[in-house]
């Protein structure tokens, strides 16, 4: 499992990193909100832990930004602000859980386990819709108008990521990590093959949505001209 931990207390980061490693968690650490946002947008994580009071960009702004970008990764807010209003505000901004400092590492690990064992559909329920295209991540079905096609698991993983991040250039590494896993050994050509398969699906559905190549970077899902 891959975690993003954004916390300005470097001693706390190092202390918790020992516990994360003991659980086999691959962890990226940032000490300010600007770097945290960059990592959150450039990589795929299973869970994020955000300090609320961060330099440069506070945790709530970071959280709000990634949610607006369609990133539904579970987020735990960690903060010394422990009033009921603080907690409600954080949860309303898109946090999945809230832990008050100081906390025991064992409690944080328990909260991580609780969040990551939730069924995926509880984290991102319902269909994803963009332009004339809709995708059902539970049925693995892609639709345009009255036309519907079933996708393979890999095709579905790619389409889900594209649907959550339309009109954004998605790096090859991001797509590979999201679909195959951060530690998977995958040949680069596998991604190109599945992009080819998805493009055939889109043509068969006669949608105006297309997947374009951003040379040297990755791919982007965008809408073509009206027919």
Burial group, residue 24, by CB count within 10 angstroms (0-12, 13-18, 19+): exposed
* Whether residues 110 and 133 fall in one domain: no
The residue range of the domain holding 143 is: 126-223
C-alpha to C-alpha distance for 86 and 82, rounded to whole angstroms: 6
* Whether residues 91 and 198 fall in one domain: no
CATH code where residue 30 lies: 3.40.50.2300
Write the pLDDT tens digit of every residue in 100-153: 888 999 999 999 998 877 654 434 445 788 899 999 988 899 999 999 999 999
Cβ neighbours for 7, distance < 8 A, ≥ 6 positions apart: 13, 16, 29, 30, 31, 49, 51, 54, 78
CATH code where residue 208 lies: 1.10.10.10
* Whether residues 175 and 195 fall in one domain: yes
In this structure, what is the dihedral angle of CA atoms 61, 167, 152, 226, given to the nearest 10 degrees? Answer: 140
Write the pLDDT tens digit of every residue in 57-85: 999 999 988 888 778 789 999 888 766 67
Counting the structural domains of the chain, the total is 2
* Whether residues 113 and 140 fall in one domain: no
* Whether residues 166 and 212 fall in one domain: yes
pLDDT at residue 71, as a whole number:
80
* Whether residues 145 and 176 fall in one domain: yes
Of 77, 96, 121, which closes a domain? 121
Q: Is the pLDDT of residue 217 over 70?
A: yes
pLDDT at residue 121, as a whole number:
41
* Whether residues 73 and 172 fall in one domain: no
Omega within 30 of 0 (cis) for the link into 121: no
C-alpha to C-alpha distance for 181 and 2, rounded to whole angstroms: 9
* Whether residues 115 and 7 fall in one domain: yes
For 175, phi and psi rounded to 5 degrees? Answer: -65, -45
The stretches of 23-104 forming alpha helices (DSSP H) are 33-42, 59-68, 84-92
Write the pLDDT tens digit of every residue in 195-211: 999 999 999 999 999 99
pLDDT at residue 227, as a whole number:
45
**What does the block give as tokens for 169?**
């250039």
Residue 64 near residue 92, CB atoms below 8 Å? no
pLDDT at residue 119, as a whole number:
52
Write the pLDDT tens digit of every residue in 16-64: 999 999 998 989 999 999 999 988 887 778 899 999 989 999 999 999 8
* Whether residues 14 and 113 fall in one domain: yes
More confidently predicted of 177 and 124: 177
Mean pLDDT throughout 90-106? Answer: 86
Of 69, 103, 121, which closes a domain? 121
* Whether residues 77 and 174 fall in one domain: no
* Whether residues 53 and 100 fall in one domain: yes
* Whether residues 143 and 192 fall in one domain: yes
Of 85, 106, 121, which closes a domain? 121
């Amino acid at each position: 499992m891959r975690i993003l931990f954004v916390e300005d207390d470097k001693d706390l980061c190092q202390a918790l990193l020992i516990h994360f490693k003991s659980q086999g968690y691959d962890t990226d650490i940032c000490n300010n909100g600007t770097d945290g946002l960059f990592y959150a947008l450039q990589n795929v994580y299973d869970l994020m832990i955000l300090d609320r009071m961060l330099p440069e960009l506070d945790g709530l702004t970071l959280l709000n930004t990634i949610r607006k970008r369609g990133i539904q990764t579970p987020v735990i807010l960690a903060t010394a602000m422990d009033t009921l209003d603080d907690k409600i505000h954080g949860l309303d901004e898109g946090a999945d859980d809230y832990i008050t400092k100081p906390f025991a590492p064992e409690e944080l690990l328990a909260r991580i386990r609780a969040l990551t064992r939730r069924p995926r559909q509880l984290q991102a329920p319902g269909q994803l819709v963009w332009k004339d295209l809709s995708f059902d991540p539970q049925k693995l079905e892609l639709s345009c108008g009255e036309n519907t096609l079933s996708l393979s698991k890999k095709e579905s993983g790619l389409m889900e990521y594209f649907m959550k991040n339309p009109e954004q250039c998605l790096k090859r590494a991001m797509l590979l990590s999201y679909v195959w896993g951060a530690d998977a050994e995958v040949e680069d050509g596998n991604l190109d093959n599945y992009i080819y398969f998805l493009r055939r699906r889109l043509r068969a559905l006669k949608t105006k949505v297309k997947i374009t190549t951003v040379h040297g970077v990755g791919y982007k899902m965008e809408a073509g001209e009206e027919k």
